Structure 1
């Protein structure tokens, strides 16, 4: 597996200053995606567990993570990373005037662990042309 990330250069406006001159920034370009069945197939090739057993564990892991997050728990997956619910909304002048209706939305925060963070330092970058946007039809799984 390569440690090269493809990127294209895109023009972006400054969201804090609409009058500012746009600047150009690197944007990572995906080189495909890996579905859960492909991950299970790759995992079975590195150990004595069958693809069906790996699939069962991965599906159960997904269920357990969702259940834990819904229960307000932080989910730590060793060196892979940590999942936690975060909230955003409006502020109140005092604690007593804060009301649950001020919460706008919940989100899932992910903080990479040592294993994921460690791969970033060794990455190399290759410039590619900006990839065209896929139509909704092209985005549908095969």
Structure 2
């Protein structure tokens, strides 16, 4: 398994004017975005599906997940994990005061499966050769 490269970034304290105390953190050095087209091409290379068949199946899949999540269902994708809707709302002293207007927002939550978590637990990391670019810290210092 390849190690995931990381860089080092400096961040201030959130909500503190001027940034407050600055600290250094590891940050995943992302190489590039993998497009749906690239994934479809890999699927077709691994199977007997044509590009059109694979694209059609994935497009249908992408239409169905929001359909079921909008209905309040948990969408279980087996070894991948689950999608579900989560809401945040204002609190009230009495239950009868809680209405749809109390809801501040909704978002979709993805929870990886136990198998996916095990695979993620095996990740290895390596410091990128340019991890210290644009920082006032030397490579001999350890990152936090």
> Residues 40-80 of structure 1, C-alpha deviation per residue, up to 9 Å, x if partnerless?
11011112212211111000000011111111111010010
Q: Report the TM-score when normalising by structure 1.
A: 0.80
Q: How far off is 1:20 after superposition? A: 5.3
- SS of 1:96's equivalent in the other structure is helix
**What's 2:90 paired with?**
90
Aligned-CA RMSD value: 2.3
Q: Does residue 32 of structure 2 align to residue 32 of structure 1?
A: yes
Q: Is there any run of 5+ residues in structure 2 with no aligned partner, and where? A: 135-144
Q: How far off is 1:16 after superposition? A: 6.8
**What's 1:65 paired with?**
65
Q: Report the TM-score when normalising by structure 2.
A: 0.79
- SS of 2:95's equivalent in the other structure is coil
CA distance in 2 between partners of 1:94 and 1:14 (Å): 36
How many residue pairs match? The answer is: 131
Larger Rg: 2
Query: What does 1:1-142 correspond to in 2, within 5 Å?
Result: 2-15=1-14, 21-128=21-128, 129=130
CA distance in 1 between partners of 2:28 and 2:90 (Å): 32
**What's 2:141 paired with?**
none
CA distance in 1 between partners of 2:115 and 2:38 (Å): 21
Specify whether residues 31 and 68 from structure 1 end up closer, same or farther in structure 2 by C-alpha distance, changes over 3 A only: same
CA distance in 2 between partners of 1:15 and 1:102 (Å): 27
- SS of 1:45's equivalent in the other structure is helix
Q: Is there any run of 5+ residues in structure 1 with no aligned partner, and where? A: 133-142
Q: Judge conservation of contact 1:74–1:83 (CA < 8 Å) in 2.
A: yes
